[in-house]
A and B are shown apart, each in its own frame.
Chain A
Amino acid sequence: MAASAAYTEEMVRGLLARSGASQRPPERIRLIADTTDFFGVESDDVLVLDGTPYLIRNYEREGRFGLDDEPKYWVRRAIDLLDGSTRVLKFEFHEEFETRIGGVSIRRFRSPRKEARILDLVRGQRHFMQGRWALDGAGNNVRILEFIRGRRYDQVAVAAGDDHEDFFHRHFPAVLEDFVGLVRAIKFLHDRGEKHGDIRRDHIICDRDSGVNRWIDFDYDYVHGESLFSFDLQGLGNILIFLAGRGDVLLPELRREQPAVHARLTRDDLSIAFNHRVANLQKVFPYVPDSLNRVLLHFSEGAGLFYDAADQLLEDLAAAQADVTAATGRRT
């Protein structure tokens, strides 16, 4: 018997009324159990997973770097009709593609199974989104995620302060402390043989309810080379450069606004992943301590050594934290 058959339209209408999930109950309720054709899943459909009915709502949208408002058709907001909670449902969607970073091609793919595995792994870990997974009636792996109310971490983290110097001296120690917590969370995955797979600053949400920063979106994976975690680590480096610079320090802006500083930069000072961003921030902001700058330089064109484990990064960050605190006179 299909899971959806355990519910009748009348039962669902009762649950809808009780949960207050829909102010205007739909005229017709369609009970579904198969999400193979996720384009065909419509708002007001009720999807039954593991005996729980979910009222399907809107698409989620990609919100990043020029992709704002691009719908993710396989990701739907939903309401758990048994307890009224908001959930995010990710339907089974596979894609494979190549990403070019610094001229290097990385083979990447999306894996629902990986995300499901990591959800199990990080259950109860505060720095990760939480959720579970279930197979729908056709065997598709649907991830049922807790909805995180909050803003993108990068927007929150660098918002404070009047200018960079003010930010760096008054707020950066706390930002760095938060970042170290996020790196430790990634180390938790790495220690268990898992990658995050898509470490970007918009994949961290600052949870409004708890104040904790949480990694999201674990379904990306990549085919690694010698080092299993290098790609994850370069993502962490990009975020750190962004945080320490109170945003990306971009060459065109620097040329326009601080030509003398721009003239002092060499190719070695630039981010190895994104050549229009400055990694050697001490040349722009001289009060950046050496120890922190050395960490940043691991992600620069001039780097002779690279991190291949989160442990190494954390060790260097500990020294940087001590120096940042000494330089600013602030703990967190």
Chain B
Amino acid sequence: MSDSEGAARAPDDIRRHLLLAVDETEGSRRAVMFVADFFGAYQDLAVTVLSIVAEPPEDLFRTAQARQEWLETQRRSRDALCAGYRAILADGGLGDERVRTRVVVRRVVSLGDAILEEQEQLRCCIVVVGRRKITHHEEFLLGSTSNRILHRASACAVLVVE
């Protein structure tokens, strides 16, 4: 596991902490805009923009180099994504001093569980995700991250942005 920027909060940081989990989907963009719009005026709020790159099965790549290149490309892409979302949050009133970004590359069994592990580690009291609007069949075969978070979260509020 690795992170691009930021990790756990400092022990003396008592601000309310919101975890905004994003990827490259339109649902994530809606979630970012919602947070910027709804929470921009809350001065006592810290936001971590989290993007998790799920490592693909190691066997997908013929060589370790091909796999490493893929992961690096993904990381750069997510770094750029988070930077863009940071700008949107800043426009909404959540300035740089209140927003951290964190890109994590790791093996995940469930992306939803991985987000909740981050929530626990970062001690966030709200998790915000966008809904991808997947079909019934997609949910059957691929699973739904937002549903997983809704069902598994136990120590935080969850906002799923439609």
Contacts and interface: CB of A to CB of B under 8 A. Distances in A.
A103 B135 contact: yes
A231 B109 CA distance: 13
Contacts of B135: 103-104
Interface in A49-81: none
Contacts of B145: 226
Nearest to A306: B140
Interface in A232-269: 234
B140 A226 contact: no
B4 interface: no
Interface string B105-149: 000111110000000000000000000000111111111110010
Interface string B78-106: 00000000000000000000000000000
A226 B110 contact: yes
The 7 closest A-B pairs by CB, nearest first: A225-B142, A227-B143, A226-B143, A111-B59, A102-B137, A226-B145, A114-B59
Given A102-B140, A230-B142, A221 B110 contact: no
A226 B139 CA distance: 9
Contacts, number: 74
B57 A193 contact: no
29 contacts: A101-B141, A102-B137, A103-B135, A103-B137, A104-B135, A104-B137, A104-B138, A104-B141, A104-B142, A111-B59, A111-B60, A221-B57, A221-B59, A223-B57, A224-B142, A224-B143, A226-B111, A226-B142, A226-B144, A228-B109, A230-B140, A230-B142, A234-B140, A272-B137, A273-B140, A273-B141, A301-B136, A306-B139, A308-B110
Contacts of B62: 94
Interface of B: 56-60, 62, 108-112, 135-145, 148
B59 A109 contact: yes
Nearest to A302: B136
A303 interface: yes
A122 interface: no
Interface residues of A, number: 28
Interface string A110-152: 0101100000000000000000000000000000000000000
A272 B142 CA distance: 13
A109 to B, nearest CB: 6
A308 B140 CA distance: 9
A228 B108 CA distance: 8
Given A225-B142, A226-B110, A226-B143, A111 B57 contact: yes
Contacts of A308: 110, 143, 148
A106 interface: yes
Interface in A192-243: 193, 221-228, 230-231, 234
B20 to A, nearest CB: 18
B30 to A, nearest CB: 18
B151 to A, nearest CB: 10
Given A193-B109, A226-B111, A221 B60 contact: yes
Contacts of A94: 62
B133 to A, nearest CB: 14
Contact of B141 (A102, A221, A228): A102
A33 B137 CA distance: 46
Nearest to B137: A102
